[in-house]
Structure 1
Amino acid sequence: MEKDYYSMGTTADRTQAADQRKFMIWVYRWMFLGLVMTSLVAWVVFSNKNWLAYITQSSGLFFGIIIAELIVVFVLSFNIMKMSVTTAISMFLFYSVLNGVVVSSVVAVYTAASVGYALFIAALMFGIMSVYGYFTKSDLTRMGNLLSMGLIGLLIAFVVNMIWFNSTVYWVISFLGVLIFVGLTAYDTQRLKQIGEMSGSLDNNYMKIGVMGALTLYLDFINIFFLLLGMSGKRS
């Protein structure tokens, strides 16, 4: 009888681990596809000098795209469970396309070497911290709460510095921003892993939650890249 109980426990653990892996694979799959979509759109726009010039010289269009991105994130964040899985994925990919346009105009300011360096370091940082968040036994909840509050303060400081620009303050904000998003990568990964443990099976609801998880990790990576590029990039 003891052996039967042990076998049942082992089977349950294996089933839970399998469900968790399916959920995390779903999350990383869409995060990766989102980054690929962003990269392709950025490359297409960057390769077309007329498009690039129009976007960079039209501040109204650029900020319109930024506002559209914020609207997409807002709609996904507050209405994700009311959508179908297809709609959630479509909106995430639409966001990736919009962000590709933004990325093209940002990287155009810097040398190719600077962009490549920032991309490599961002990928390395993100990968290390995501692996740490997945495998660590420490509870990162408290750290996540502190980082979230730090992010709010960082956004306020960034807006203020846009008005009264100071290069030293910008560098400090960027450095702190990298630390915050690197920490959030670990926290978000652990949180998603915990969600995966409770999923039971990868049904429609957990697929939609996984799309939001993909967007969260996508934003962590993109912000690390942008901040590193702003700190260390050489202008072309």
Structure 2
Amino acid sequence: MANWNDPQPGSGFGASPSLDGRTAGRAAYDMGLRRHMLSIYNYMASGVLLSGVVALLFATSGFAAQVLTTPLRWVIILAPLGFVLAMNFGVNRMKTSTLQMLYWGFCTVMGLSMSSLFLVFTGASIATTFFATAAAFAGLSLYGYTTKKDLSGFGTFLIMGLVGILVASLFNLFFASSALQLVISVLGVLIFAGLTAYDTQMLKNQYYQLRGTDFVGKAVVLGALSLYLDFINMFQFLLSFLGDRR
């Protein structure tokens, strides 16, 4: 963040030109930051809504039950990863509009992938877990935005934990241990809860480096993608041990 020093009071009546300039500059910066973060949250929330609608429609139409029992399910499952890789590795070569289209495409295929949740869990438990996740996400993101504590030191720890649960999840595909799955789910919720606060602070600090550049629009999309992934993963891990199965 910018280093705004406390202005020294001047002599005489009224504010000094230096004080007025700093106050106006700080106000303009804060306004720009709020607009930037609001754009990220709007993209993120719209993406989650799109995925939810697609998942619900795909599941209730009956197509999910048919398609997800065929080899085509692997295309649906792996497609979101392809979109994420394309967006992250191609961001410097893409226009902002291209990145936006890829983001909406990602949200759509994520909806297709998540339709399986409606086949496994009851609608009531999905809704309850979703609102619980939304409340937790809002609180964690608010903490990341407002805290004066530097959370960058937690980044490496959280990424290591994420790699650990991915390895454990692959391991559990072969052993199908319910106890290990419970541990993975609990750790997954904690890790993505931490990442929500961490990513929010990183996005807030990133604005200082990017303001006034052409990359700001792309940063909004990539920021929304990061928070989307935090939210969706926290939701799915929470649902795996709180949700009621059909």
Please give the TM-score of this superposition, normalised by the length of structure 2. 0.91
Q: Is the 8 A contact 2:51 2:111 kept in 1?
A: yes
Runs of 4 or more above 6 Å deviation: none
Q: Which of 67, 73, 90 matches 2:78?
A: 67
Aligned to 1:191: 202
Q: CA deviation at 1:66?
A: 2.1
TM alignment of 1:1-236, pairs within 5 A: 2=10, 3-49=16-62, 51-58=63-70, 60-201=71-212, 203-236=213-246
Q: Is the 8 A contact 2:65 2:119 kept in 1?
A: no
Higher RCO structure (Cα 8 Å, ≥6 apart): 1
Q: CA deviation at 1:85?
A: 0.9
Q: CA deviation at 1:204?
A: 3.5
Q: State how far apart, in whole Å, the 1-side matches of 2:68 and 2:245 are.
A: 15
What code does the residue aligned with 1:226 have? Q
What code does the residue aligned with 1:108 have? L
Of Structure 1 and Structure 2, the greater helix share is in: 1
| CA deviation map 1:14-49 (0-9, x unaligned) | 111112112111111111111111111112112202
What code does the residue aligned with 2:42 have? R
Structure 1 or 2, whichever has the larger Rg, is 2
What code does the residue aligned with 1:114 have? S
What code does the residue aligned with 2:215 have? N
Q: CA deviation at 1:197?
A: 2.9
Count the aligned residue pairs.
233
Q: State how far apart, in whole Å, the 2-side matches of 1:200 and 1:117 are.
A: 38
Q: State how far apart, in whole Å, the 2-side matches of 1:61 and 1:128 are.
A: 38
Q: Is the 8 A contact 1:69 1:99 kept in 2?
A: yes
Q: CA deviation at 1:164?
A: 1.2
Q: CA deviation at 1:200?
A: 2.6
Gaps of 5+ in 1: none
Q: In angstroms, what is the RMSD of aligned CA positions?
A: 1.4
Q: State how far apart, in whole Å, the 2-side matches of 1:82 and 1:53 are.
A: 38
Q: State how far apart, in whole Å, the 2-side matches of 1:217 and 1:169 are.
A: 27
Q: State how far apart, in whole Å, the 1-side matches of 2:154 and 2:66 are.
A: 42
Q: CA deviation at 1:56?
A: 2.5
Q: State how far apart, in whole Å, the 2-side matches of 1:67 and 1:179 are.
A: 24
Aligned to 2:3: none
Q: Percent identity?
A: 35
Secondary structure, in 3 states, of the residue corresponding to 1:138?
Answer: coil
Gaps of 5+ in 2: 1-8, 11-15
Please give the TM-score of this superposition, normalised by the length of structure 1. 0.95
